[in-house]
Structure 1
Amino acid sequence: MISYGWRDPVTDAEILDLARSHGGAAVPGWWDGVRPHSLGWVGARDGDGLLVGFVNVAWDGGDHAFLLDTKTRGSYQRRGIGTAVVRLAAAHARAAGCEWLHVDFEPHLRDFYVHACGFRPTDAGLIHLPSTGAGPA
């Protein structure tokens, strides 16, 4: 059985372990630095309390929320956990007064976000800042 919690008390060590479980990059201290800037997040835990899913919701303080860092433990993938954390995050962003929920994703994740989670494709722009070489004027 999987339980889901909004603003679940997730530790930096748990995020590191979760990221490593599916081959993701894990940076110590990342979650401790990001958490204070989040509208909220969803944690998914198995019956033993192990963190098996996660998504962070950043926001602009107004109408726009942004999904970041959706993760599902490698051994728990393809069970609907990622979809469930995204849906719960969307419900809480809506309850907080957000009108829009944005997500960026790599092409291989399109089916997950568009078909499983209900996002619609849009035009968007992106600048990879380290590649521009430009500093402040």
Structure 2
Amino acid sequence: MLYAILAYHVEAEVKSWTAEEDASVMVGLRGVHERLKGRLGPAARLGDTRNARTLRGPGQGMVVDGPFAETKEQLLGFYVIDCADEDAAIAAARDLRRVNPSAVYEIRPLKLYVPGAAFPETAGPSGA
């Protein structure tokens, strides 16, 4: 089953890291990525929230600056991972957190969307 693991963090804290501190976290995360090899799909670090735009409202909507979530942390990245079940997805998030302990990880089941196709049920783990 596919899961999204959303990585939240206080953006100002992450931006305050030195290049060496950031590189250290990334080295740790690459180690987790290697352990998840074959199950890890797209992963990304999102750009600065000050460059984000939100589309909301009726009709064509209105584009406004920034993500206006009422949280102390901001969504700064995400992973897509193929896991047997929720427990395995939580274990993967705990592995990520061991190397980035000040981050918050949200785990959500994910349905694969293929444009032009019906919304399928999420398939089981690869090879199952």
Question: What TM-score results when the alignment is normalised by the length of structure 2?
Answer: 0.28
Greater share of helix:
1
Greater share of strand:
2
Question: What TM-score results when the alignment is normalised by the length of structure 1?
Answer: 0.27
Higher RCO structure, 1 or 2 (CA under 8 Å, sep 6+) = 2
